[in-house]
């Protein structure tokens, strides 16, 4: 007898995929945390100038989204396709047609995410040698393209 792993209940670093653990307790799921992280970035970046060294570090983290999201989307696509074999799936139309449509759209999103990672990396490289003079300190704040400002 094959045991089906219920992916929605798996915990990774204290969080699960869809917001509930295997005891039915609410736990903020990773997709929710990702959305809230972007929401926080939207809030924080709306308050004035952003010097290149700061943006360089932010882009360094965000480009990872574009580089990691394609793998997640590919795995979700394969999992969705496999669900047709494992579960008794129902739908208003043929479930295989719905999964095919979702697969095509997820593959398109996968390509766009990969492009996003490449574009963010290129934007990061474009500002990698920029620094600024901090008026409050009187000293130039330089950035050498590494992870830490000088």
> What is d(CA 64, CA 83) in angstroms, rounded to the nearest whole number?
28
What is the predicted pLDDT for the residue at 149? Answer: 45
> What is d(CA 124, CA 133) in angstroms, rounded to the nearest whole number?
20
The b-or-e profile of 121-139 (16+ CB within 10 A means b, else e) is: beebeebbeebeeeeeeee
Whether the model clears a pTM of 0.95, i.e. scores above it, the answer is no
SS (H, E, C) 104-147: HHHHHHHHHHHHHHHHHHHHHHHCCCCCEECCCCCCEECCCCCC
What is the predicted pLDDT for the residue at 22? Answer: 65
| Coil vs helix vs strand at 17 | coil
Sorted by where each begins, the domain ranges of the chain are 1-48, 50-150
Question: In Å, how far are 3, 4, 58, 111, 124 from 50, measured between CA atoms?
Answer: 51, 48, 10, 29, 13
26: phi then psi, degrees, rounded to nearest 5: -70, 130
Task: Classify residue 150 as exposed, middle or buried by CB count within 10 Å of its CB (0-12, 13-18, 19+).
Answer: exposed
Quick check: 28 pLDDT over 50? yes
What is the predicted pLDDT for the residue at 122? Answer: 97
> What is d(CA 45, CA 30) in angstroms, rounded to the nearest whole number?
22
| Mean of per-residue pLDDT scores for the chain | 86
114: phi then psi, degrees, rounded to nearest 5: -60, -40
Which residue did the predictor score with more confidence, 123 or 23?
A: 123
What is the predicted pLDDT for the residue at 101? Answer: 98
């Amino acid at each position: 007898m094959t045991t089906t792993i219920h992916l929605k209940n798996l915990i990774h670093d204290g969080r699960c995929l869809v917001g509930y653990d295997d005891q039915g307790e609410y736990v903020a799921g990773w997709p929710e945390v990702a959305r809230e992280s972007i929401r926080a970035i939207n809030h924080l970046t709306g308050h004035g100038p952003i010097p290149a060294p700061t943006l360089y570090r932010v882009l360094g983290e965000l480009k990872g989204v574009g580089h990691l999201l394609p793998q997640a989307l590919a795995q979700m696509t394969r999992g969705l396709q496999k669900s047709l074999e494992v579960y008794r799936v129902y739908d208003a139309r043929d479930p295989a047609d719905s999964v095919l449509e979702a697969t095509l759209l997820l593959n398109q999103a996968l390509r766009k995410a990969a492009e996003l990672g490449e574009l963010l990396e290129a934007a990061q490289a474009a500002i990698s040698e920029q620094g600024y003079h901090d008026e409050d300190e009187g000293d130039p704040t330089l950035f050498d393209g590494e992870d830490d400002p000088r």
